[in-house]
Amino acid sequence: MAAVSSLSFSAIGQTSGDRKLNVSSARHLSSNFEGFRFRTSCLYHSVGLRASTAASALVVHCMSTGTDVPPTVSETKAGFLKAYNRPIPSVYNTVLQELIVQQHLMRYKKTYRYDPVFALGFVTVYDQLMEGYPSDEDREAIFQAYINALKEDPQQYRADAQKLEEWGRAQTSTSLVEFSSRDGEVEVILKDIAERAGGKGSFSYSRFFAVGLFRLLELANATEPTVLEKLCAALNINKRSVDRDLDVYRNLLSKLVQAKELLKEYVEREKKKREERSESPAANEAVKKCLGEYQYLS
């Protein structure tokens, strides 16, 4: 099983508002997210209002229909750009824009309910994507703006991801899949997921959830193929879906690494060109000075 933490995706570019870096790999990255797209449905409900008057025995029933309409994808993206309005390097921006579309569709599905494994999966993807970003402060500010645009709590995402990571490091292949027989904060979280996924509540599987499971396996050094199968069974999750989604995730990581290398080469070439251009005027001045001194001596 590949180790997520062994890959990084740093790159330099510019956003759509500035000059864009024309690297073909950046376009390929967004195509990898096609498999991450989800359908969503609006939530509709009708509210019955009953009005009665004490002055008469007549009871008046008034029925009105309300519509709880979630924000559009455009509104979510606009909220993100408003919260973080500084330029974002193009390769990062390309993937972030795709991610926020996917997560918007997940977020506003009728069956969606936040859970810490989902949070761990998203934080894992985000941190891998943004590793090597020019500024640590900006990287965290982008994270805050992203989650807030989805009307969720970025602090909760970070706290839950950290909680599960600490728990995962303390597990073994056996203890990881036997969570239902033990008591503990994370064990309660996993039991709740298993109950909801088993049909006793609202549960919406997603690829971020699959990545969260993968991260737990990695932290527990549970590399045996059978461990994932047992964990999925314990959580009432379809393993075939998890396998498929992890393949998409690994492919995405590979594309991002390739893009990083291409952009690194581009930045080095541009830096070299700038240095050569800055050296040329100095060289010309030196030549002129030497020629002037030669003419004076002559």
The set of residues, in sequence order, having a beta carbon less than 8 Å from that of 18 and lying 6+ positions away, is: 87
What is the reported pTM?
0.69
pLDDT tens-digit map of 11-24:
323 333 333 444 44
**Average pLDDT across the chain, whole number:** 77
Amino acid at 114: Y
In terms of phi and psi (left: phi > 0; alpha: psi -120 to 50; beta: otherwise), the region of 265 is alpha
pLDDT tens-digit map of 198-249:
987 788 899 999 999 999 999 999 988 899 999 999 999 999 999 999 998 8
pLDDT of 71 over the 70 cut: yes
pLDDT of 194 over the 60 cut: yes
Sign of CA dihedral 228, 230, 234, 238: positive
Dist CA 273 CA 175 (whole Å): 56
63 pLDDT band, cuts 50/70/90, is very low
Dist CA 255 CA 96 (whole Å): 15
Dist CA 116 CA 193 (whole Å): 10
Burial class (CB in 10 A: 0-12, 13-18, 19+), 39: exposed
Amino acid at 111: T
